Amino acid sequence: MALPLLRSERLTLRPVALDDVDALHALWTDRDVRRYLWDDIEIPRERAEQTVRDAVDSSAAGIGMWVVLEGDANALVGFCALIRREGDEDPELMYGLSPAYWKRGYGTEAAARVLRYAFETLGAARVSAATDPPNVASVGVMERLGFRFVGRGVLNGLDTLFYEIALERSITADMSRR
């Protein structure tokens, strides 16, 4: 199963391709993005390329990464992904946007569309998400989508907030309106 093209009201989510490495590397090394996404490490292009290759490879299993585009334009707004951490059956939602597109609701809109895909197409019973405690914007996205806080712990040696959302009638009804 390859990742499908997804659309929402204002966004197009296209499965990531190797041609996206340079644009994603630029996004992921932006000072404001990397402080939460890459734990404030400026990753080399090779790491960005390997991340994209891994996402392309995982798309055969129905999980992976989409680049987020505004409307039908080709300009990259950000990314949204479903990953599986080792030992975890449930997919994890990840997302990030270019600072130029913050505070427009795009993160919530893109994540809602990918959640709908996870529940309706993949048949996921639950989706998890995690963020750094100071990342209040990401916490806001998760709360608007109906995620519930499940605890605080350590991920990759860092203080992390963990959230999850389960497939329930009220959640799917709310998501179908998006």
Tens digit of each residue's pLDDT (9 = 90 or more) over 159-174: 999 999 998 733 444 5
DSSP strands (E only) in 9-157 = 11-15, 64-70, 76-83, 92-97, 126-131, 148-155
Q: Is 79 exposed, middle or buried (0-12, 13-18, 19+ CB in 10 A)?
A: buried
Give the pLDDT score at 89.
82
pLDDT along the chain (178 residues), means of 10: 91 96 96 88 95 91 94 88 85 96 96 96 94 93 95 90 79 46
Interatomic CA distance for residues 60 and 22, integer angstroms: 23
Give the pLDDT score at 63.
92
Interatomic CA distance for residues 146 and 148, integer angstroms: 6
Give the pLDDT score at 158.
85
Give the pLDDT score at 174.
52
Helix (H) or strand (E) holding 48: helix 45-58
Q: pTM of the full predicted structure?
A: 0.89
Q: Where are the domains of the chain?
A: 6-176
Give the pLDDT score at 169.
38
Number of Cβ atoms within 10 Å of the Cβ of 16: 24
For domain 6-176, give the fold.
Aminopeptidase (3.40.630)
